[in-house]
Amino acid sequence: MSLTLNTDIAIIGGGIAGLWLNAQLRQRGFNTLLIEQSSLGGGQSVKSQGIIHGGAKYVLHGALSGSSEAIADMPERWRKALNGEGELDLRGVRLLSDAHYLWSPGSIAGNLTSFFASKAMRGRVDQVKGKQLPEALQHKDFKGRVYRLAELVLDVPSLVQRLAELAGDSLLHAQKITPRYQNQQLVGVQADNYSINAQRVVFCAGSGTEELLQAFALSKPAQQLRPLHMVMAKGPALLPLYAHCLGGGSKPRVTITTHPTADGQWVWYLGGNLAEAEGVARTSEQQIQAAQAEVAQLLPWVAQEATQWATLRVDRAEPVQSGLTRPENAFLSEQGALLVGWPTKLALAPDFSDRVLKLLERDDVQPSSAQSYPDLPRPAIAQPAWETAFNDPA
């Protein structure tokens, strides 16, 4: 038997984009239903490195045109939300680091001086030394320069947890989504045996968006997937480190973030160039060897004997970009009552939400009388990959 639910906005996909948008809409008095097929955050969001970028990484390869790009405002918006003074109350979300660092190993430090003095970077970086260095770099053998970026690193599982609290009774676990039309107009979705009437439907299902569009007989907007082969290391010798290590190229040679595990240890999560094309082509074993070699070369004082290693393959999902450019703003397109998009970065979830709100305002979409949705099947919250990737000795 089909059950009918009335809502204002049906959101498909419970990653950071859907969860943030859902919380924003509820705060404005909209009725919402967020439909998640699997687990909340389990697509890309909980697999991300949790860096709230301000764009420094993009300035590095000349891809950021200036402060007009949305990403430049993100660290401050998130910081306010974490302090309970922003657009959402994210108090309780664990801040892993109140800065991300750029670290240039000895050889290329000289080239960077003019870059850091450039107009685009002014006010975004400070060089740090001695006791101000990240713990993992405070070693007598460390050579190179380190710059502190005004960026944050968040514990994404606790972020997803908080956004799920803000979602109240609006979360629905359902597998199969199909469109519902009346007079050839989209009037909602069928989600398993729930018939949902909605003023607008928003697709923000990450890599699942293409398949959803197909189920709605749509081929646009086109999606691109960019694969990554990430590496995880767990062991007693690993001290907290949140840094892009610069190589000669336009992308960081390796980006290391550090995440807490349920058993009280730390995991280094390694991305950056290591995880891009060449890394994707490697087997898991080869990728671990490549990561071990990077750590041995860049941080030779880190004892690797008791460290366990694992890898994780995951695709970034985005709108198709022309050439090699990658988006620096969230993306949203509209087709009647259907809105489709990708935040393109965890950090840009507020920008994605702004874009949806702007279209609702333009079309004068108003909240209808308040609904409650008791007893809906609720999706679980995703576990981070490092909780299952290692076979810890008993």
| Residues lying near ligand FAD in the complex (CB under 6 A) | 12-18, 35-38, 42-45, 47-51, 53, 177, 204-206, 208, 212, 228, 230, 271, 314, 316, 342-347
Three-state DSSP state, 28: coil
Q: Report in angstroms the alpha-carbon separations of 76 from 61, 73, 150, 286, 359.
A: 23, 6, 9, 39, 24
318-323 — which CB contacts under 8 Å span 24+ positions? 318/223, 318/224, 318/225, 318/226, 318/342, 318/344, 319/221, 319/222, 319/223, 319/224, 319/344, 320/221, 320/222, 320/223, 320/224, 321/224
**Residue 393 C-beta: closest distance to ligand FAD, Å:** 27
Residue 307's nearest CA partner among 388, 371, 218, 239 is: 239
Three-state DSSP state, 241: coil
* Preceding amide of 379 cis, omega within 30: no
**Residue 61 C-beta: closest distance to ligand FAD, Å:** 17
Strands 254-260 and 243-245: antiparallel
**Residue 121 C-beta: closest distance to ligand FAD, Å:** 19
**Residue 53 C-beta: closest distance to ligand FAD, Å:** 5
Our CB check for ligand FAD shows the closer of 120 and 160 to be 160
**Residue 235 C-beta: closest distance to ligand FAD, Å:** 21
The pair of three-digit structure tokens given for residue 223, joined into one six-digit string:
């999606």
**Residue 369 C-beta: closest distance to ligand FAD, Å:** 27
Our CB check for ligand FAD shows the closer of 139 and 313 to be 313
Our CB check for ligand FAD shows the closer of 86 and 367 to be 86
Residues 6+ apart with CB under 8 A from 134: 101, 103, 146, 240, 241, 242, 243
Our CB check for ligand FAD shows the closer of 17 and 33 to be 17
Contact 109, 39 (CB under 8 A): no
At 375, give phi and psi (nearest 5°).
65, 25
Is residue 32 packed enough to be buried (19+ CB in 10 Å), middle (13-18) or exposed (0-12)?
buried
**Residue 300 C-beta: closest distance to ligand FAD, Å:** 26
The pair of three-digit structure tokens given for residue 70, joined into one six-digit string:
């949305």
**Residue 8 C-beta: closest distance to ligand FAD, Å:** 18
C-alpha 345, offset from chain centre: 5
**Residue 51 C-beta: closest distance to ligand FAD, Å:** 3
Rg of the chain's alpha carbons, rounded to an integer?
Answer: 22
Our CB check for ligand FAD shows the closer of 15 and 221 to be 15
Residue 24's nearest CA partner among 387, 289, 352 is: 352
**Residue 269 C-beta: closest distance to ligand FAD, Å:** 8
Our CB check for ligand FAD shows the closer of 19 and 298 to be 19
Our CB check for ligand FAD shows the closer of 147 and 352 to be 352
The residues that bridge with 320 in the sheet, in sequence order, are none
Distance CA 315, CA 329 (A): 18
Our CB check for ligand FAD shows the closer of 191 and 337 to be 191
Distance CA 367, CA 352 (A): 20
Our CB check for ligand FAD shows the closer of 295 and 346 to be 346
Our CB check for ligand FAD shows the closer of 44 and 158 to be 44
